[in-house]
Structure 1
Amino acid sequence: MRVLLSTYGSRGDVEPMAALAVRLRALGATASVCAPPDPEFARLLADADVPMVPAGDAVRPLVTGTGPPQLTDFTARTVAVLTGQFDRIYTAAAGCDAIVATGMFPVAAAARTAADVLGLRYHHVSLQPTLLPSLHHPPPERPGRPLPPGVTGNRELWAHDAASMHALYGESVNRLRAANGLAPLVNVRDHVHTAQPWLATDPVLSPRGPDDFEVVQTGAWILPDKRALTPELEAFLDAGPTPVYIGFGSIPLRPRENFARVAIGAARRHGLRVILASGWAGLAPVDDLEDCLAVDDVNQQALFPRVSAVVHHGGAGTTATAAIAGTPQVVVPQIVDQPYWARRVAELGIGAAHPGPSLTTRSLAAAIATALTAETRERATATAAMIRTDGAATAAKLLTA
C-alpha cells in the first residue's frame, strides 16, 4: 500500500504526519509526506527516514515576516495555493492508494480534489478539535464572516460556518474541480472534512461528547524522539535546582525582548532557573546571569520530565508532550486552538491557563505559582498515566485495514 500524507503549517502540523508515516512503514506500507520546504521540516522527515515532497512556500519566513511579499487579495491567494498545491499533490499521489490530509484549508481542499481526480481513498485529519463541528463548542470566526449575533445554538452556528466556508472557498475550489472534470460542490467544508473526519488528539486531553457529530478519534500522533540532549543542556540540568522550561514554538511574539524579559522575570520571582527555547520568535536571555540557558530545537520528550513546569503557547503537540511527561504546565494562549488547550489544562488541574496572550511579570508569576503546587504536580502525574501514546499506530491500522 502507498499513501501520500499532505500537510501545510508549522512543526505541529508536520511532525504528526511523520509519526503516521513511521507507523505505516511498520505495517509494510509506503508513505511520503507532502510538506512545506522549510529546512527544519526536511531534517525532521529525513531523521525519521520519511520521503518528503516539498510543496508551497517555506512557512517560517511567512510567519516571521522575513519572506517575500505575499498576495494581499484573499481570493487570488486562495487560487494560487489551491493550484500550486494541487499540482504537487496530484503528481506525488500518482500510484498511491490513499491520501491523508491536514493543514490549512486550501491545501486540504487541493488534496481532496487530487484524490477525487485520481479515484483514491481520502481521509481528513484534524490535529485539534476546534475546527471540527461539535455540539459542545462554537466554530471559529472566519475571515470577514462573523458569527451571527443572537445565535447561541452550536448546531446552528456550525451550519453558518459551512455556509461561510463555502462563500470563502467554494468558487475557487469548484473552478479547480471543473478544470479537472469534476462536478461542483455545494458544501466545500464538509466535502473536504468528509462525513467521518479523523481527530488526532488524546480523549483525556480532548474529550468529545456522545452526542457529537461523527468523528473518529485516534489519539495523538506522536513521533518518538531519540535525540540526546546536548552536553551543555545536561550540564545545566545537573548544575542546580530543577529549572522551568519557557518556549512559544512557532509563535512570532512581538516585541520578543519584552516577552523574554517578562517570562524570565516571572520565573525568577519563584527562584527558578530557566531553559529558554528560542523558537520562531528568536527569544534570547536578557542578561548574562547563569540561571538562564538558551536552547534551539530540543528533544522535548527527554527534557520535559526533568523540568518543574513547562510554560508555552498551547500548541497541541507541546500540550500533549508536557501532559505525557506528567509535568505541570502554564499555557499562555495566542491564537487558533491555543485558548482551548489552555482551558483544558486548567479544567484537568494539570497546570494553569494564563488569562490571555499579553504577559506581565506578575500575571505569569501567578500562573507559575499555580503550576508549582503539590496538588497540580500530583494531578499532572495521575493524568499522565491515563494518556494514550498509540494514536499514530491506531490511525495506521485504520488506513491499512
Structure 2
Amino acid sequence: MRIAIPLTGTRGDVQPVVALGLELQRRGHDVLLGTPPNLVDFATDAGLAARSCGPDVQQLYSSDAGQQALAAGNTLRLMQLVAKQMAGYAEQMNREVIDVCAGTDLIVASTVTEDRASSVAEAMDVPLVSLHYFPCRSNSVYPFPGALPSHWNPPASINRATWGLAENLRRVVFMRYLNDLRATLGLPRSFASTAAVLARANVPEVQIYDPALVPGLPEQWDKRRPFTGFLTLDQAARAAVGDLDGDHANILSWIEAGDPPVFFGFGSMPIRDTAAVLAMASEVSARLGMRALVSAGWSDLDVAAAQAGPQVKVVGPFAHDIVFPHCAAAVHHGGIGTLFEGLRAGLPTLVCSVSFEQPMWGGQVERLGVGAHMKFTQLTTDRLEQAVASILTPERRSRAMQFAETLSAEDGSVRAADIVEATAR
C-alpha cells in the first residue's frame, strides 16, 4: 500500500510521525513523508522517503517578529504570524500537499494538515487518518487550549463554547485557501469546519498522547478517536538521526559525582535572551543548594563559552530517556515530547509555557499533582526559585513516581499503524 503523510511544523510535530512511518514501512508499505524543508534530511536520515512540504516554521519563530511574539507570550499574536506565513505560502502549500499525495492509496495527516488532506482525499477517493498531538476537538472537560487561563475550572457549557468559537475562527481564516485548493481539485466549494468535514467522512482522529494526561476525556469520545500513547523512535532510527550522539558518558559522570540535578531546557522554542535564562537557573541553583543541568536546545547559546557556577552544567543535545532517570526534576516549556520523557522518568515538572497547547499541558501537570506551571513571560529569579522549590518536595516526587506507572510503556506507533491498516481495509 502507498501511504502519503503531508506534514508541517517543527521537529516536535514531525518526529512522532516519522516513528509511525517507519513502523508502516516495516510492515511492507511504501511511505512518503512531506516535511518542512528544514526537516527533510531528518526524515531521510531516519530511513523514510521525504520531500519538502510547507514553510520553515522554525525560521519564523527565530525571526525578529517571531521572537517578539514569543517574548510577549502572546499565543494570538504568534498564531497571527503563523497564519500570515501560511497565507503567503498557501498556494505553494496546496501544490505541495497534492504532489506528496499523488498516486497514494491512503493519506495520514496531522492537526495542521488535516484540512488540506481531507479535500485531497475526497478528490482522490482514498481513506484519510488524522493524528492529533493534543485534544483539539470539542468536549466538555477541557476548553480549547489557550482560550482560558490554565488554572481555571470552567463549567462544561463554557468549555464547549470555546471549541465552537475556535473551530469557527479556523473555518473563517482558512476557508479561502481551502476553497482555492478545492477548485484546483475540481471539487465544489465548502463552508463547513474541518471538524465537521472529518466527522461526516468518519475519519479516524488518532490521539497520539497518553490518556492518563487527560482524565475524563476518553470517556467522552467514541471509537473514532482512539488513544495510542506516545509515538517514539526506535534505537536504530535515533542513532541514524543523531539523537544518541550526545556526550552521555560525560553528562552521567557529572551527575553521579553529586546529588541528582534539576533539568532546565526549552526544546525547540528559540529563546531571545538565553544568557539571562542561564543566569536565572544558576542563581536558583545556588539559592536552593541544588545542581542544575541546562540544555541549550536549539538556542544560540555557546555551550563551550557558557558561564555558570560549579553546581551547573550546560550541555548540548542529549537523549532524554538516557539522562532523565538520573535527575531530580524537570523545568521546560511543556512540549509534549519533553513532557512525556520527564513524566515517564517520574520527574516532578515545572512547565514554563510559551504558547499554543503548552499552557494546557502546564495546567494538567498542576491538576495531576505532578508539578507546577507558569508562563515563560512571568519568569523571574524569585518566582523560579519558589516554583522549583515547590516541585522538589517529597510529596511531589512521590506523586510523580506514582503517575509514571500509569503511562503506557508501549510504543504507540504499533497501535497507530494498526489503525491505519484497519482504515485502509
Shorter-chain TM band: 0.7 to 0.9
Distance 1:274 1:44 in 2: 30
How has the CA–CA distance of structure 1 residues 97 and 309 changed in structure 2, closer, same or farther, with 3 Å as cutoff?
A: same
Q: Identify if the C-alpha distance between structure 1 residues 55 and 390 changes in structure 2 by more than 3 Å, giving closer, same or farther.
A: same
**SS of match in other structure, 1:311:** strand
| Cα distance change of structure 1 residues 359 and 65 upon mapping to structure 2, 3 Å threshold | same
Q: What SS does structure 2 have at the residue aligned with 1:305?
A: helix
Q: CA distance change for structure 1 residues 275 and 94 in 2, over 3 Å: closer, same or farther?
A: same
Give the aligned partner of residue 324 of structure 1: 344
- C-alpha deviation, 1:261, in angstroms: 1.5
Q: In structure 2, how many angstroms separate the alpha carbons of the residues matched to 1:346 and 1:206? A: 12
Amino acid of the structure 1 residue aligned with 2:321: Q
Write the letter of the residue equivalent to 1:386.
T
Question: Does the aligned pair in 1 maintain the 2:97–2:117 contact within 8 Å?
Answer: yes
Paired with 1:74 and 1:319, the residues of 2 have a C-alpha distance of: 24
- Aligned partners of 1:74, 1:392: CA distance in 2, in Å? 29
Q: d(CA) in 2 for partners of 1:14 and 1:74?
A: 17
Stretch deviating more after TM superposition (173-182 or 58-67): 58-67
2:91 corresponding residue in structure 1? 83
Q: Which residue of 1 aligns with 2:298?
A: 280
Residue 133 of structure 2 is matched in structure 1 by: 127
- Residue deviations 1:165-207 (CA, integer Å, cap 9, x gap): 2211112211220122012112132256545422211000123
5 Å-filtered alignment, 1:5-44, equals 5-38=5-38, 41-44=39-42
* Conservation of the 8 A alpha-carbon contact between 2:8 and 2:55: no
Amino acid at match of 1:4: A
Aligned counterpart, 2:412: 391
Change in CA separation of 1:51 and 1:192 when aligned onto 2, cut-off 3 Å: farther
Q: 1:385 to 1:218 in 2, by over 3 A?
A: same
- Maintained 8 Å contact 2:295/2:316: yes
Q: CA deviation at 1:75?
A: 7.8
Give the direction of change, closer, same or farther, for the CA distance of 1:324–1:346 in structure 2 (3 Å limit). same
The residue identity in structure 2 corresponding to 1:82 is A
Q: TM-score, normalised by structure 1?
A: 0.86
Q: Is structure 2 residue 250 aligned with structure 1 residue 244?
A: no
8 Å CA contact 1:126, 1:132 repeated in 2:
no
Q: In the alignment, is residue 177 of structure 1 matched against residue 187 of structure 2?
A: no
Match among 228, 241, 245 for residue 218 of structure 1: 228
Paired with 1:293 and 1:73, the residues of 2 have a C-alpha distance of: 35
1:345-396 Cα deviation digits (max 9, x unpaired) = 1222222223664211121122211222222222222221221133221110
Counterpart AA for 2:294: L
Runs of 5+ unmatched residues, structure 1 = 143-150
Structure 2: gaps (5+ residues): 67-79, 148-155
Alpha-carbon distance between aligned partners in 1 of 2:353 and 2:137, rounded to the nearest angstrom: 19
Paired residue type of 2:415: T
Matched AA of 1:91: D
Q: Do 1:108 and 1:192's aligned partners in 2 also have CA atoms closer than 8 Å?
A: no
* Partner AA of 2:219 in structure 1: P
| 1:45 is the counterpart of 2:33 | no
CA change 1:31–1:62 in 2 (3 A) is same
Secondary structure at 1:322 match in 2: helix
Structure 2 equivalent of residue 146 of structure 1: none
Check 1:284–1:276 CA distance in 2 against 1; reply closer, same or farther (3 A cut).
farther
Structure 1 partner of 2:73: none
CA contact (8 A) 1:260 1:283 kept: no
2:385 maps to 1:361: no
* Percent of residue pairs bearing the same amino acid type: 27
TM-score (structure 2 length as normaliser) = 0.82
Q: CA contact under 8 A between 1:314 and 1:332: conserved in structure 2?
A: yes
Q: Deviations over 1:281-340 (max 9, x none)?
A: 334575253432222222111111111111100011111111111222111111111111
- Mean Cα displacement is larger for which, 331-340 or 76-85? 76-85
Q: Which residue type is aligned with residue 412 of structure 2?
A: G
- The question of 1:370 aligning with 2:390 is answered yes
CA distance in 2, matches of 1:103, 1:163: 16
SS of 1:28's equivalent? coil
Query: Which amino acid in 2 is paired with 1:205?
Result: L
Quote the residue 2:370 is aligned against: 350
Residue identity in the other structure for 1:95: G
Q: How far is 1:47 from its partner? A: 4.2
Give RMSD over aligned pairs: 2.8
Match of 1:189 in 2: 194
Matches of 2:105 and 2:348 in 1, distance apart? 42
Paired position in structure 2 for 1:147:
none
Answering whether residue 391 of structure 2 is matched by residue 382 of structure 1, we say: no
Secondary structure at the aligned position of 2:211 is classed as coil
The 1:112/1:67 distance shift into structure 2, 3 A limit, reads farther
SS at match of 2:213: coil
The alignment partner of 1:216 has SS state of: coil
Please tell me whether the aligned partners of residues 145 and 357 of structure 2 are also in contact (alpha carbons under 8 angstroms): no
**Alpha-carbon distance in structure 2 between the residues aligned to 1:127 and 1:193:** 17
Q: Which of the two has greater helix per residue?
A: 2
How far has the Cα of 1:343 moved from its partner?
A: 1.5
**Do 1:8 and 1:103's aligned partners in 2 also have CA atoms closer than 8 Å?**
no
